[in-house]
Amino acid sequence: MPNKNVALVLSSGGSKGLAHIGVINELERQGFNITSISGSSIGAVIGGLYAMNKLTEYMDWVKTLDKRKVWGLMDFTLSKNGFLKGERVFNEMQSFIPDMLIEEMRIPFSAVATDIINEKEVVFNSGSFYSAIRASIAIPTAIKPIEYKDTYLVDGGVLCPTPIEHIHRNEGDILVVVNLYGDKIEKTSAKEINQKPSIFGNSKYKEYLSNLIGNLITSDGNKNSLGYFSLLDITSSAMIHKLSKLTIQQYQPEITINIPSNSAKTFDFHKANELIKLGKNLAKKQIENYNQTFSNTCN
């Protein structure tokens, strides 16, 4: 029988990270024991919640979100370094998931942020969970950076999208990596590609506002609908995809679960059910491949 202890690495990647939940559920269903987690950005959020034993509560909540609720959690601000404060969603989460010290979690957990001034990674493996993930999810130009000591912290994915080097790995643990920068899947229709949230009603002014904000923050790689944030996001994503690929090639995980990079846009948290199912199905496939490889090696 293959080893069932897992050191789990969860990459950055916006709402696609809800697929991490499906992966974790499938690992547990197949009898794997997750002994440690590291994550960047959304990977830090999901990984920390699992380490706190609060992932079920989060999953039940996120499944209730529709487009209107997602946009209601966006605390827009007039700022020179981000148009979202990034506080409202965590305040909402803290109403049913209290903060916790990372060092008191049931398994080792590391959240990665980027010190943008000194161009280096900052790893949180102690202190407040919410403080750590708020720094780790600070998407440049979108979510305001965090002041930290004498510098500023932004999204961990900038320098370390797939934080394999920061996982606490016990001897014999298999390395499992969930990469949210997998090969793209074909869109089924132009309507699906170009669809933007419309939550402001039907008046011309409200429609204009919806389209304006939609163009600013919608990103799916479609060259015909590039807004301000979309262009920045796609440009940085190209670099992050390459960095993640090189990291995975360097460390050679036993199991790599690649989530298509265009399976959701940055803020598509209303697609929770779809993304969780996607993660579960892709994890099942890769676990089967791992088990088959192990069986062939032993025979």
Q: What residues are labeled active site?
A: 41, 155
Distance (Å, whole) CA 184 – CA 15: 15
Q: How far apart are CA 218 and CA 215, in angstroms?
A: 6
User: Is 73 in contact with 66 (CB distance < 8 Å)?
Assistant: no
Whether the CB-CB separation of 3 and 35 falls below 8 Å is answered with no
Helical ranges in 182-259 per DSSP H: 190-194, 204-217, 228-251
Structure tokens at 298: 């032993």
- Going from the C-alpha of 39 to that of each of 252, 292, 299, the distances in angstroms are 17, 28, 36
Helices in 5-158 by DSSP H: which ranges?
Answer: 19-29, 42-51, 55-62, 67-72, 88-94, 129-136
Tokens encoding 261: 């990079």
Give the C-alpha separation, 4 to 176, whole Å. Answer: 11
Q: Determine the Cα–Cα distance for residues 207 and 256; give it in Å rounded to an integer.
A: 42
What residues form DSSP beta bridges with 171? none
Q: How far apart are CA 256 and CA 162, in angstroms?
A: 11
Q: Rounded to the nearest 5°, which phi and psi values hold at 101?
A: -75, 135
